[in-house]
Structure 1
Amino acid sequence: MKTSDFYYDLPEELIAQDPLADRSASRLLHLDRETGEIEHTDFKHITRYLKPGDCLVINDTKVIPARLYGSKVGTDAGIEILLLKRKGDNVWETLVKPGKKAKPGTVIRFGDGLLTGEVIDVVEEGNRLIKFSYEGIFEEILDKLGEMPLPPYITHKLQDKNRYQTVYAKNEGSAAAPTAGLHFTEELLEEIRQMGVGIAHVTLHVGLGTFRPVKVDDVEKHHMHSEFYVVEEDQAKLINDTKKNGGRIISVGTTSCRTLESAADENGNLQAKSGWTEIFIYPGYEFKIIDGLITNFHLPESTLLMLVSALAGKEHIMKAYEEAVREKYRFFSFGDAMFITDNQK
């Protein structure tokens, strides 16, 4: 299977640069994963494709304002840092630009010294381990100094930090938003609950590895970065009970999907557990837990496009993407949504 099999042509003007004023006003393309049949509607009407007894699984991770701009002590050279993973007490794995100015021993000052960081090691792919020093609460300082780490294809400045968070974001730790969840409002979630659909939550802290381009020609040789996830006991029970009772498990986003599939045993039972996952889902993968997926439109040749192709079949997905381009859907993080379900179940 070649990476180039997952290429499609996307006009640049279809890349959404700003979130819509009303989260649920985005468009929704519904794809039947068995027949390939497509329907177009608005996200606020997603309830017409849900059934009582179904269970939505959301990822309640919260994006931290992980992009910091500082200067190198001694030269005042500008340095940009992106927090990737918390490794221990005040130590983070980071992406540093320009990396050549950040050798071990380098000290970087942020916000007139409100926060300082010392580079203590170089790790895989040139990332840096940085130990931070500050007074007070790290999260509060980060909130004051940091910017939301928007993907590189978004060039507009975000006016409201909360628009790159889901309304149910709770557990801080992500370097990127689980963007399928951005379409939900509190009102829509309540409407979904009222119709008898369960809502379960898991946590997966999204790393930038999720968006890392596939640089190998052979899909199977690509290696995913690890991301930390948590599935709690009561949530595993809710999901397993839904399956036992014949309800569908519908993952809100590829991150929830990867969490569920990582924590499932070989019999399709979800385990309550936490840990790091490097699961890579591409065509040929047999899903153990999920029956449906709500997701955004993904970059050409990306692991996320491969994941949705595993669920609905590459042919169905590529045709749906062609139609989305033709119909001028908005693509990527602030774009429109797709709902993949098996209508036969």
Structure 2
Amino acid sequence: MGLFNWGKSGSGKQLRILFASDLHGSDVVFRKFLNAGKMYKADVLIIGGDVAGKALIPILELGGGKYQVDDKVVGSEGLEEYKKKFRSSGIYYTIVDKKEVDELSSDKEKLDNAFKDAMIERLREWIRLADERYKGSGMHIYTNLGNDDPTYLFDVIKESDVMRTVEGEIIDIGGYEMISFGYVNPTPWNTHREMKEEELGLNLKKMAEKISEPSRSIFNFHAPPYGTNLDNAPLLDSTLKPVVKGGEIVMTHVGSSSVKEITKEFSPLLGIHGHIHESRGFDKIGKTLVLNPGSEFGEGILHSSLIILEDNKVKAHQFIIG
């Protein structure tokens, strides 16, 4: 990670925000995020959603200290290497015998329960780590869920002393009001938390209307605004494969028109978004700075944004990758 410094000019107090989104179960990315909070002397950490991983791999215990992973038989040392690899890339795993493997393959309920258990276990590990690093510091890690996160994870986050759920609340961050919402406009994958644009817009407006001073507010919406630098993704065909023309993947805008319209209407100081991993970028909607740090969770790379607010303005912002 590169280190960036800004001078403290102006009479107002600076607020240093470190924002990341779409960690998707990557242990390495979460640890880097916690470390970056201290490295960059952040006043507050914000996770914009999608903390859950996307895959569960069964590890078959063969007996005699042997395990089968990805059609390979390994001993205890090899198993630890696989675990490290899976945790880094956000993949969950469960160690099972032959009978249990067959049950997971044939019984969707058991598979879902195994996925749920693995998801909760890793999030609780993150909570223990965050509490250990930041307990007593006065620091909050404001954590929202995204479209890929089942809602029961809200209850898990509430077990933490420093990680705090934010959806549906108005959170005061150094005198700036933040509202958060993790639902997104419909996707081709029918994920946990999606809404039609009309319903999404109604929910966003209901929250925005409760803000006392919109020009000093932060909109923490998982879906990026439509038609900006934040929502470019591959165009998909009917089989959900990227469309390729002239040897290049065709890109298209996939963000939310409701998010864009609510941003136009209320003109917050800042919009922080995620969801579209390949679309790291920033843009302006009227006077509002909007940004998406992107995500490379599968490679164990942290994408985040350090944002400095001062005198009711965005004094500086910087993408941090490492």
TM bucket, shorter chain: 0.3 to 0.5
Normalised to the residue count of structure 2, the TM-score between the two structures is 0.36
Normalised to the residue count of structure 1, the TM-score between the two structures is 0.34
